[in-house]
Structure 1
Amino acid sequence: MPQTPREIVTAALQFSGPERLPRDLWTLPWGELHYPEAVAEMRRRFPSDFAGPPGVYRPSNRAQGEAHTPGIFVDDWGCTFENIQAGVIGEIRDPLVVDMADTSMVLPPYETLPEDIATAR
């Protein structure tokens, strides 16, 4: 009897000989924009062995713009990216840490944490 995706992942993590390596396909929106049929076919032929996490995190008040569209994007941490091509994430233009002394000034986006911590586990 074939192993279920859960059994494959568990066996791989325990080094107990899964029937094959666990798989997951991470794509950028660029692939979906330019090759939607090919991406769909890969996902059909090689389904993921992993489930996605629940959407329990709250939006950050620091985030601005869209990560995969041309223009300026600021992530949850406050790091600024400039993107010139749709479907990919841009280049960092304003890094949070320029010098190692800057690390003490980095403030994690605590506002994104769920009110009920148990939902994130």
Structure 2
Amino acid sequence: DVDATQDGPGLYAIIHEGTFLSGSVAVPADKDVLQILPAGTEVWVLEVVLREEESRVRGRIGSPAGWISLLDTKTGYRWAERRAPAAPAAKSEVIEPQAICVSVEMAEDGVE
């Protein structure tokens, strides 16, 4: 198994062409995919969850809102790489950074 401790909130770059965005922390079925993100898209991951039963590390992103797979803990395959950790909040004030995302049409045969 792969060490998933390197993942945490922060700026990530999508490195898998056609990364699925879903509304649930669970790995989505095709019908639950909200959007497909192209490689090169930068997103802010706000929360990271280890889904042991699915061998995945999943990240909740703010814009577009939803969940993506970050890492397969069995194979080491990555959908997104962290570019910068989240900045510490000042005076216990949490500010959610904004992300820029390019919207694409969902392919019928998209693979996550």
Q: TM-score, normalised by structure 1?
A: 0.21
Considering Cα pairs closer than 8 Å and 6+ residues apart, tell me whether 1 or 2 has the greater RCO: 2
Q: Which is higher, the Rg of structure 1 or of structure 2? A: 1
Q: Report which of the two has the higher share of strand.
A: 2
- Structure (1 or 2) with the greater helix fraction: 1
* TM-score, structure 2 normalization: 0.22
